[in-house]
């Protein structure tokens, strides 16, 4: 019924239809694209036009001069017009492109503030009286000031142009956060407006603080002060510190704001040092508002302290400590009133720093110029500020600080002196009776200070402060000891305290505490003993014989005798009774024991050099030589005592003990002769003309056990014939004496002699082949002589003996003490220079 449709025409029709449909779609896309492009272009053109209009409007207001260096004196417009122009300007504001305009905006606003009440309509803050715009105006001034803070974060004060902008933005912040300098408030109108304006400024400061004012100020201070030469002048520094104080004053020094202030401002490296040097007015402001006392109150609060310590890294905790000390010395009244709180805060800050202190170098440590090896990385700017931080911390052991912290002890000593001076001299007839009464009552009156007394607590606590200070500030340890020891009043006062603590300088007090809690030296009185011993040793080691024995500086000879007796007993009792674990003592891990022992050795060496005590003063009555000879090998405590304080036993008894140990060792090694067994021996042949060479060649490399055994010597005479006689004692002794005689002959160049004919190694010994091995051989020969009980005459110089005994490794060692034994003339001239 229907005709058949041609498939070709059908396909053509479908393709034409599809092409028309796609064409219509393309036309629609082009139409839509044109609309979007036109809209974008119109929007761009409109924005450009608006941008130009706003720029022209703000330019008309600001009147930016064509020459940037020209003086800026704009003709001021009404504040309302300025406000509207600023609103539009902030609508198109771009920080990078509009920074220059923003600077002129700040300068314009500052110029408008320099207007009196007669022309107040051009003053920018006049709009606060306009109820219709007051709220958006407040939002605008907040935005202006926060933009100033934002720019401060990115500026570099070391660049001259940036420094000018820093001062500009600081002036803006100073001007609009306090109504005190607004000229518009001068006169009768100002009296009614001032309270409201002050509230407005507080509102602005609160907003800035919420946005992050303190971190901005901290960063700015760090950039300007953390360097060897600071970038800020007095005005700039005063402006920053004043800005940091205003939120505190407005909030009546609330704990929250004080915490932020301490964290961000007081921890800036050397801030108070630069403030005290460059801005006395600013320092007075801190003192007036008693920032030191308020900071102490905050830091003694447990919760606030935890927040601050968790937020501050060790180096900045140290900077906080340095600033507190500096401020305390400036605000002396507050320091005197809050001495205990100050010491408590200092100890806690030092303990916070100590957590990061490491004993040795590793991949995880960095060097700190005050603390030593440190587990945190410090930035370069912080290191640059460390010399100033050091100067601040050194105030802790200044004479003024010592007098304040030890005020109770010094007062006690003064009172004792006055009481002793006011005692009337008894008549001659009553002298005998008076002496008898004094002698009878001396035991009961010896203890004048009890540990429970306030004097003892404050004095011991102060010493605990200095002890932890020396342990934490390891690189300033010698400075601390020097500051304490060369203070003319402290050492005698501490010695007076120890003497009044009881008989034998309160020995029973120390032993009772250790008996109650062995190994525990946490009681502050041990800190007092440690500080006294270390300080006294540091001082005594610098005294020459004239100062110590004739001038008797600081201590009398009777004081040295009493001091050494107490220390000798203390070291002996602690060791013998195992009051502190022997392993701790052997490893040198007990501070109080080490300090007492070092001072004891120093006093003993001085007595050996020039006696000031009786002959048997150093011997210990409780140690019987018979017990000593039996217990040396068995009792670890006695062995440690003989290592630490051998002088408690007479020298002759020590020699017997040594011979006993040698005999016992020989028996254990099978080196003694018996009826059945003859010990193995070493036979050497020595030519009379080559005693040293042949002895060195044959004995230098033999094992230690063979050296301890029997050595038989066969001499060969000058004709090359064997001499008669081979034995252990006589011929070997002759060989030993000849060897020692030749190696110590200065002609061999191994040793030299002083003007007093004392021996010491020669600096030209290297001309001998294998000279170091020769020294080793000489040492073995001397050791063999001592081991066999053969006495040889080898007068070594005292300074060389000190090296052999390794006494030069002690902190108490002074090379000047040994100098006279090397060069008496040089020592004399140096002493003369010292006196002059």
User: CA-CA distance, 386 to 346, in Å (whole number)?
Assistant: 18
* Region at 326 (left for phi over 0; alpha for psi -120 to 50; beta for the rest): alpha
The whole-model pTM stands at: 0.83
Per DSSP, which regions of 191-255 are E strands? Answer: none
Sequence-distant (6+) residues with CB within 8 A of 274 are: 225, 230, 232, 237, 388
Looking at domain 681-751+763-789, its CATH class is: alpha beta
CA atoms within 13 A on the CB side of 721: 3
Backbone φ and ψ of 43, nearest 5°: -65, -45
Residue pair 443/324 in contact by the 8 Å Cβ criterion: no
| Nearest residue to 266 via CA among 398, 166, 392 | 392
What number of other Cβ atoms are within 10 A of residue 205's Cβ? Answer: 23
The pLDDT assigned to 410 comes to: 94
What number of other Cβ atoms are within 10 A of residue 310's Cβ? Answer: 8
Sequence-distant (6+) residues with CB within 8 A of 148 are: 106, 169, 172, 173
User: CA-CA distance, 571 to 564, in Å (whole number)?
Assistant: 10
Q: Between 728 and 372, where is the model more confident?
A: 372
Mean pLDDT value across residues 364-393: 81
pLDDT, tens only, 548-576: 999 899 999 999 999 999 999 999 999 98
Q: Would the pLDDT of 305 be above 60? A: yes
Dig out the tokens for 567 from the structure. 């220390």
User: CA-CA distance, 82 to 105, in Å (whole number)?
Assistant: 10
Residue pair 567/600 in contact by the 8 Å Cβ criterion: yes
Dig out the tokens for 424 from the structure. 């009337």
Dig out the tokens for 426 from the structure. 């008894």
Residue pair 326/395 in contact by the 8 Å Cβ criterion: yes
The pLDDT assigned to 189 comes to: 66
User: CA-CA distance, 356 to 370, in Å (whole number)?
Assistant: 12
Q: Would the pLDDT of 289 be above 50? A: yes
pLDDT, tens only, 689-746: 888 888 888 888 888 888 888 888 888 888 777 777 655 556 888 888 888 888 888 8
Backbone φ and ψ of 712, nearest 5°: -105, 140
The pLDDT assigned to 5 comes to: 54
User: CA-CA distance, 826 to 518, in Å (whole number)?
Assistant: 50
The pLDDT assigned to 515 comes to: 92
Residue pair 376/313 in contact by the 8 Å Cβ criterion: yes
The pLDDT assigned to 439 comes to: 46
Q: Between 671 and 259, where is the model more confident?
A: 259
| DSSP 3-state of 759 | strand
| Nearest residue to 219 via CA among 157, 165, 143 | 157
Helices then strands, counting H and E runs in the chain, come out as 39, 6
What number of other Cβ atoms are within 10 A of residue 764's Cβ? Answer: 11
Q: Would the pLDDT of 92 be above 90? A: no
pLDDT, tens only, 214-261: 999 999 999 998 888 889 999 999 999 999 999 999 889 998 999 999
Orientation of helix 591-609 relative to helix 524-540, angle to 10°: 30
Q: Would the pLDDT of 307 be above 80? A: yes
Mean pLDDT value across residues 28-42: 89
Can you give the residue ranges of every domain in the chain?
Answer: 65-204, 403-419+446-618, 681-751+763-789
Q: Would the pLDDT of 86 be above 80? A: yes
Q: Between 812 and 354, where is the model more confident?
A: 354
Sequence-distant (6+) residues with CB within 8 A of 646 are: 654
Please report the DSSP string for 100-167 in residue order: HHHHHHHHHHHHHTT--GGGGGGSGGGGGG-TTTHHHHHHHHHHHHHHHHHHHHH--TTSHHHHHHHH
User: CA-CA distance, 180 to 274, in Å (whole number)?
Assistant: 26
Residue pair 92/59 in contact by the 8 Å Cβ criterion: no
Judged by average pLDDT, the poorest of 228-232, 444-448, 825-829 is: 444-448
| Nearest residue to 203 via CA among 236, 186, 179 | 179
Mean pLDDT value across residues 808-819: 66
Q: In angstroms, what CA-CA distances link 368 with 183, 248, 311, 365, 475?
A: 51, 33, 20, 9, 9
């Amino acid at each position: 019924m229907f005709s058949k449709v041609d498939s070709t025409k059908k396909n053509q029709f479908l393709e034409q239809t599809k092409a028309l449909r796609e064409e219509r779609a393309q036309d629609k896309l082009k139409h839509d694209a044109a609309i979007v492009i036109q809209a974008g272009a119109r929007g761009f053109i409109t924005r450009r036009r608006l941008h130009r209009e706003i720029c022209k409007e703000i330019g008309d207001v600001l009147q930016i001069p064509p020459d940037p260096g020209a003086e800026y004196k704009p003709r001021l417009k009404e504040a309302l017009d300025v406000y509207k122009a600023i609103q539009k300007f902030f609508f198109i504001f771009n920080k990078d492109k509009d920074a220059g305009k923003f600077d002129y905006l700040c300068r314009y606003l500052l110029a408008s503030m320099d207007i009196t009440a007669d022309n107040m309509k051009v003053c920018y803050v006049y709009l606060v009286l306009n109820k219709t715009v007051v709220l958006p105006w407040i939002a605008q001034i907040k935005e202006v000031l926060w933009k100033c803070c934002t720019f401060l974060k990115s500026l570099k004060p070391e660049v001259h142009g940036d420094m000018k902008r820093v001062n500009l933005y600081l002036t803006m912040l100073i001007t609009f956060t306090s109504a005190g300098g607004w000229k518009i408030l001068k006169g009768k109108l100002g009296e009614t407006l001032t309270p409201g304006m002050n509230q407005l400024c507080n509102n602005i400061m609160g907003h800035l603080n919420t946005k992050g004012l303190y971190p901005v100020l901290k960063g700015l201070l760090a950039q300007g002060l953390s360097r060897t030469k600071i970038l800020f002048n007095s005005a700039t520094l005063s402006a920053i510190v004043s800005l940091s104080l205003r939120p505190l004053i407005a909030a009546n020094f609330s704990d929250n704001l004080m915490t932020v202030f301490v964290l961000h401002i007081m921890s800036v490296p050397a801030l108070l040092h630069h403030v005290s040097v460059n801005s006395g007015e600013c320092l007075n402001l801190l003192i007036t508002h008693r920032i030191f006392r308020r900071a102490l109150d905050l830091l003694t609060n447990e919760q606030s302290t935890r927040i601050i310590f968790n937020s501050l890294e060790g180096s900045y905790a140290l900077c906080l400590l340095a600033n507190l000390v500096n401020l305390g010395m400036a605000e002396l009244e507050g320091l005197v009133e809050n001495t205990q709180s100050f010491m408590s805060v200092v100890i806690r800050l030092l303990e916070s720093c100590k957590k990061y202190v490491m004993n040795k170098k590793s991949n995880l440590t960095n060097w700190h110029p005050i603390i030593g090896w440190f587990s945190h990385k410090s930035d370069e700017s912080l290191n640059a500020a460390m010399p100033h931080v050091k100067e601040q911390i050194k105030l802790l052991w200044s004479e003024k600080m010592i007098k304040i912290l030890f005020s109770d002890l010094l007062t006690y000593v003064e009172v004792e002196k006055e009481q002793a001076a006011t005692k009337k001299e008894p008549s001659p007839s009553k002298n005998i009776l008076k002496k008898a009464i004094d002698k009878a009552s001396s035991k009961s009156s010896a203890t004048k200070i009890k540990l429970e007394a306030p004097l003892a607590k404050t004095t011991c606590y102060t010493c605990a402060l200095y002890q932890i200070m020396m342990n934490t500030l390891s690189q300033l340890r010698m400075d601390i000891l020097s500051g304490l020891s060369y203070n003319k009043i402290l050492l005698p006062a501490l010695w007076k305290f120890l003497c009044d603590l009881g008989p034998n300088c309160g020995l029973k007090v120390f032993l009772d505490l250790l008996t109650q809690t062995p190994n525990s030296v946490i009681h502050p009185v041990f800190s007092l003993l440690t500080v006294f011993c270390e300080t006294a040793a540091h001082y005594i080691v610098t005294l020459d014989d004239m100062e110590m024995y004739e001038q008797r500086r600081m201590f009398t000879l009777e004081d040295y005798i009493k001091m050494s007796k107490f220390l000798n007993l203390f070291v002996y009792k602690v060791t013998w009774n195992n009051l502190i674990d022997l392993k701790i003592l052997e490893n040198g891990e007990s501070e109080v024991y080490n300090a007492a022992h070092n001072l004891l050795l120093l006093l003993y060496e001085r007595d050996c050099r020039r006696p000031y005590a009786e002959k048997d003063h150093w011997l210990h009555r409780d140690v019987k030589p018979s017990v000593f000879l039996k217990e040396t090998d068995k009792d670890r405590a006695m062995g440690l005592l003989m290592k630490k304080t051998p002088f408690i036993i007479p020298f002759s008894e020590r020699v017997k003990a040594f011979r006993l140990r040698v005999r016992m060792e020989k028996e254990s090694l099978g080196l003694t002769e018996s009826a059945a067994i003859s010990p193995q021996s070493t036979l050497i042949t020595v030519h009379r003309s080559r005693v040293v060479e042949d002895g060195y060649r044959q004995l230098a490399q033999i094992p230690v056990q063979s050296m301890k055994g029997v050595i038989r010597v066969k001499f060969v005479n000058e004709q090359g014939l064997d001499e008669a006689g081979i034995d252990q004692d006589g011929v070997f002794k002759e060989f030993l004496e000849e060897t020692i005689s030749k190696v110590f002959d200065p002609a061999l160049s191994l040793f030299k002699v002083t003007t007093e004919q004392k021996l010491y190694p020669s600096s030209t010994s290297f001309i001998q082949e294998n000279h170091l091995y020769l020294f080793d051989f000489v040492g073995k020969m001397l050791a063999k002589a001592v081991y066999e009980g053969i006495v040889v005459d080898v007068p070594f110089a005292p300074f060389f003996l000190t090296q052999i005994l390794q006494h030069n490794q002690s902190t108490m060692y002074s090379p000047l003490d040994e100098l006279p034994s090397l060069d008496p003339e040089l020592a004399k001239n140096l002493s003369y220079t010292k006196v002059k």
